[in-house]
Each structure stands twice: as structure tokens, then as C-alpha cells.
Structure 1
Amino acid sequence: MDEGSGLNILYVDTLDAMRIPWSKPCLAGSPFHGVILGAQAYPLGQIDLPVMFGKRANFYSEVHTFKMVDFLGSYHPILGHPCYAKFMVIPNYTYLKLKMSGPNGIITISSAFSHAFTCDCEHFEHTTMVVNLSKLPWLRESSTLVVLDYNKSTSSMAFCPLEETKAVGIDPTDPTKMVWIRTQLPAKKECELVDFLCANRDVFAWQPSDMSGIPREVTEHALHLISGSKPTK
């Protein structure tokens, strides 16, 4: 199951293993992205199939629409966000468990860490093979490796306004307190703006000590933990 996927995907190998004839799926011509790196994927069609979680004593079943694809994958199907929403699934990726409400209590689906590691290795091998296909050489040709030199790129990466600006002092007693305004403002509007900034210069925080009147709770990050709970790595 992939909570980040917006589709339910079914591979043709899985369809064949389920002995479902290819004539049963309906046509679906709209492409989707994110499955094959840098390319569109066109499904062969779509099919509605029942999906069930749980055992005979406590199970939950819903009908879902799957997009059929004819390329290799390390999984049988991929159940995406539509499945999560319809089943109201709560995942726990740390313990590899899925939980959902059933007619007779909570349904818990578990997996083994060794199985998850095997799937990850197969997925990496399939992804590497797809990237190295002759159909995708333009990815390597059109992409250029860029190594940033921090010392040289600091000025180019710094904030740069889109329009020309000029510095204006707003505190006669302290010439270091400057603000920047547009150079193309009409004279009347510029005078009104400078007068407004000068009249409200006390609201500017030039340094952290200028914010001493603000409670710490406004800018302080806190973790609300349950007292006495056991830490989990």
C-alpha cells in the first residue's frame, strides 16, 4: 500500500495470476506520472475488483478501481490513497502494520521486516533497469550535473528583489535603521510611505532583544509528550 499514490495500480502479471481475461477491463486512455521516471505511463485499461482485509470472523470488503499497467513491478498491486480513504486505514510504518475498523473490532494487517527489505531491493533493481532503458537516454543527455560552490554562489543565491529599490532612513537618531522601498514610486506616495514608516518605526524588531515583550510561547517550539511514556526508537 502506498499512501502517496493517487491511483490503485494492478500489474498484468497479477491479472494473469488471478486468471482474469484481458477482455474484461475497460479502456482508460489518460496517462499518469510518477511510476516510470521521467515519462508518462499509459494504462492498458481499468478494472473494478473487490478488495478484502481481515479473516472470516472479522473482515471488511470494498470494490476498487485499478489501472492496469504492462511494465514490471516489485509488487502485485499498489493500493493508493483511494483505498486508504475508503477503508479509513491507519498505517504505522515503524511496525509495518495497517489498522482499520471492522464489523467485529479492529482489523490489523502485519508484515515482516525481512519481506519489506526484499521488496525494497527488488524495487531498486526494477527502478535501475527502467532508468537504464534505451527509451530514456534523453534523461541523461538533457540533465547536467551541477556542483554548487558555496563561496561563489552565495551572491547569486541571496535574496534579490525583482524591482530596483533604495534605502531610506526611518529613525533620525540612528542612521543604521534603514528600510528599502521601490525607486519607481510616485513622489506623493513615496512621501506618504516614508512618513508612515517613520511614525511606526517602534514596531520594527532590529535585533532579538527588541522582542523582549513577546511571550516565549509565541515563538517557542515544544513537544507535548505524555509524562511517564516509554521512549521508542
Structure 2
Amino acid sequence: MQLGDVSFEKVNTSLYGFAREVVHPWDMISLPLKMGAGATRKTCVLKFLVVDVPFAYNVILGRPTLNAFQAVFLIYHMKIKFPTLGGVGKVQSDHLQSRKCYIEAVRKGQKRNLDEGHERVPPSKKRKEAIAEGAPEEVEVPAKVQPVEELLNIEITPGTPDKTTRIGSHLERKIKEEIILCLQLNADIFAWEPQDLEGIDPPQEARALLAVQPIRTGEDWRGPIIRWIEEGHLPDDRWEATRLKTRVACFMIQGGTLYERSYTHPLLRCLSTKEGVHVLEEIHSRWCGAHAGTWTLANKALRAGYFWPTMKQDAKHLVSKCKRCQKHFSLIHQLAEPLTTMLSPCPFTQSGMDIIGPFPVASGQRKFLLVAINYFTK
């Protein structure tokens, strides 16, 4: 590099991840580095680590260099800008030279991998004499893997030379005859063309019966009320009949739909439990959902004009299984142990008194109000 008379410093720092291995630098050298041209040229003395590695570049500049020049690196424009006394200095990259360095680095890496991947075969006597005379030493690449023995072609079906397979030729005669006989007896299992793949015969397929267990579901809570209003039918149980007569006074049917009368709301449309859960999901977590709590969610469904008997229990169950509600729920700030009453609050006792007024004259000519506050207990 023709550095001339320069001073070197000993270093004990290792480079990790450089050239895919740990590199131990030789020395550290201080060199003046000039960037820019003309009036915008700037010079700084920088320290470089000297290493012995195969690389396409002579010098690599890092962040210490950018900090020393107070430079800004523009990746998109491949340019470096830095302040100088004569203005803003610029260094533009050379794409052609950069490409050449990249190709050279790739070539060196491939050559190095080739040297590492194959062991050098000791040269013969004639080769040693040729190397001594000045011929370049070459790396002998091992030959491709070859079979350890010759293979014998066997016709699976006699008279069909296009349907063959191979076995070892060095097998014993008895074993060879048994293998050939076994292959010829089971020639029907070989598929030579795609249409030969017939699959499993349908009668031989194993079929498992689908066992369906019916699930008992309770009757819709609206059924007995609708039958009583339309047909006058009561349940056989005397207690259920009395209870139904008491409840039915709050319901009415309009246009084939059951509604509940309310003192503070318009008519509430009665829904089944499944329909009610769907309404709660829409209110709780869909487009306009606010992930409200149990009582707020049930009241929103009620104000929306819907009713079913288990709406509060369903709202509680929905909120308890909502992942977002459980994740962002407010933390419990209650202490892990019982609170201890303070026996002497004197250091913290503080009270105040103020006069409010004048007010309109009251009985006894009273115009002002005395307010006393205990700031400790409030």
C-alpha cells in the first residue's frame, strides 16, 4: 500500500464476525484520511486495525470515521456529506468500482470454500518433479461416487424388456434366485404408468359408522307464553301454570312477534337465548363495540329494544371469556394483607375553616356560613 514511515501500536482486541471467523489484528496504525475536493476537502487522522484476511477492499471505514468527519451517509443516493470551512463536502460512490470489488470478493470466497471443502491429495512423483520445475499446483477433486459392484438387470415379467429392475451381481446364487422369484410372483404390485395406480378397492375400504349422539336442548322460553296467549294452553304442572299466568301479563304479540311491556322503555322484542348472545356480541366487540362491563352491556341491549330472561347472565359469561377484556382489565390495587389502623394520627391531622358568604338574609339575620374540614379523614 506504500504507507511509508508510519508508527504502529500493539493491540489485543479481536474482531468477531469478520470474514466468518475470529480475527486477531496485527497492529493499529494512524493514518491521515482526506475526503472531498478543492475548498471542501477535509483531513482527519484516524486509527486503523491491520489484519491479514483475504478481502477485496484495502480499507473499511466505520462509524468512528463518520463521527470524526461529522458525516451523514445517504444510502439511497450512495453519497456522504460532511461540514467543512469551505462549505458542505461531498463524496459520491463509484458504482462500477464497487461492483468490481463485489465480484472479486465473491470469487475469493468461492476459491476459499473450494480449498476448505476438499482435502489435498499428495501429488505423485512425476507431479512433484513438475511442481519443482515451476508448474502450478492443482487441487485434485475427488471423483463422483460410483457403485461398489456391477448391477444385474432383471425382467420382472419375462418377455418385457422395458419392465426391469436391478439387483447386485455379487449375491449368492440361492439368494439371487429367491429375490428374482419373489419379484416375479409379485409383479402386479409394480405401477409402470400412472393409470396403473388403481388405489384401494372400494369394497375393501374400512368405513367407520358415524355415531351421532343427540343433544338435549331446553324448550324456547317464549313457547309457553305464546301458546297461552294464542291458544290458552297451560302447562300440566300446577305451579308452572300459576307462574305463567303471573308472567304473561307483561307480554303481548304484535305481527306474530312476542314483545314485553315496560314502564320506562318502549316495547321490548323478545329474543331466544341464541339470538340474545348474538346481539351481545355485536354490542360488545363488533364495529361499534366498546368492550363494556357486564351490567353496562346488559343495559345497552335493553336500551336497544331487546329482552330475554338470562341477558345479565349471558353478558357476564361473554365478558368473562373475552380475551381483550381479560387482557386490559384494570389491575386490583388492594393490598395483599389486611390494612392496619393507625393508632396515633397526630402527625397527619390537619383541619381548616373558611367563611362562605354573604348569602341572602336567613332567619336570625344569618348571612355567612362557617365550613370546617378535617383533611385527614374528610
TM-score, length basis structure 1:
0.49
Query: Based on CA coordinates, which of the two structures has the bigger radius of gyration?
Result: 2
Greater helix proportion = 2
Larger relative contact order, structure 1 or 2 (CA cutoff 8 Å, min sep 6): 1
